[in-house]
Amino acid sequence: QVAYPEFILDEEKLDQYYDGLDVNDTDSYSEMLEKVERQKIEFWFKMLTKPASHFDLESSSATVAPIYIPTTNSLRLPAAILQAPLFHHTFPRALNYGGLGALIGHEITHAFDDVGRQFDANGNVREWWDPNTKKQFEDRAQCVINQYEEIEIPGTAFKINGKLSQGEIIADNGGVKQAYKAYKAYLQKLGREEERIKCVEQFSNEQMFFLGYAMVRCEHFTRDAMFFRLVQDPHPPERYEVNQVLANQPEFAAAFKCKVGSAMNPAKRCVVW
Q: Which residues are catalytic?
A: 107, 172
Residue in 189, 165, 178 with CA at minimum distance from that of residue 213: 178
DSSP-derived letter for residue 76 is E
Q: Phi/psi zone of residue 257: left (φ > 0), alpha (ψ -120 to 50 degrees), beta?
A: left
Residue type, 228: F
Residue in 17, 9, 1, 182 with CA at minimum distance from that of residue 79: 1
- 3-state SS class at 147: helix
Rounded CA-CA distance 117/143 in Å is 18
> Residues 201, 204, 205, 210: is their CA dihedral positive or negative?
negative
Rounded CA-CA distance 24/181 in Å is 53
Q: Are strands 74-78 and 67-69 parallel, antiparallel or unpaired?
A: antiparallel
Residue 90's alpha-carbon distances to 93, 94, 96, 130, 249, in angstroms, are: 9, 11, 10, 45, 27
Rounded CA-CA distance 160/151 in Å is 6
Residue in 7, 18, 215 with CA at minimum distance from that of residue 100: 215
- Strand spans (E) along 7-73: 67-69
